[in-house]
Amino acid sequence: MPDHEAAVREAVAQLAAALLAAVQANEATSGTPERLLDLATTAERLGVTRSTLYERVLAPGRLRTIRIGRRVLVPESAITEYLARDGR
């Protein structure tokens, strides 16, 4: 049994090292998580009222959003994409 135990310990150590390396590599490439903005902040960033945001931006699906339950959130990159696409 001691031979099996040593082999298992070595395999677990190798697996742990591989997982740690993978996590560190992912953190290095992904950077910080993207910030999600509520609709009031999004409207402020776009320089429109919330009503305009709903009527002209969200309704036609021109702005990428994320739904979490009943909340609608907008990734910061979606605002940049929207502004670049619509020429503001």
pLDDT tens string, the chain, 88 residues long: the values are 567 888 888 888 887 777 767 666 655 566 677 899 999 999 999 999 999 998 988 888 889 999 999 999 999 999 999 888 875 5
**Same domain for 73 and 44:** yes
**Same domain for 42 and 81:** yes
Number of domains the chain contains: 2
Angle between helices 76-86 and 39-46 (to 10 degrees): 30
- pLDDT score, position 76: 92
Query: Count of alpha carbons within 13 Å of 60, Cβ hemisphere only?
Result: 7
Reported in sequence order, the residue ranges of 32-77 that DSSP labels E, i.e. its strands, are 36-37, 66-68, 71-75
Domain hosting 17: range is 1-31
**Same domain for 81 and 42:** yes
pTM confidence score? 0.60
Task: Let me know how many helices (H) and strands (E) the chain has, helices first.
Answer: 4, 3
| Cβ–Cβ under 8 Å, residues 36 and 73 | yes
- pLDDT score, position 45: 93
- pLDDT score, position 4: 85
CA 85 centroid distance within chain: 21
**Same domain for 57 and 20:** no
- pLDDT score, position 49: 94
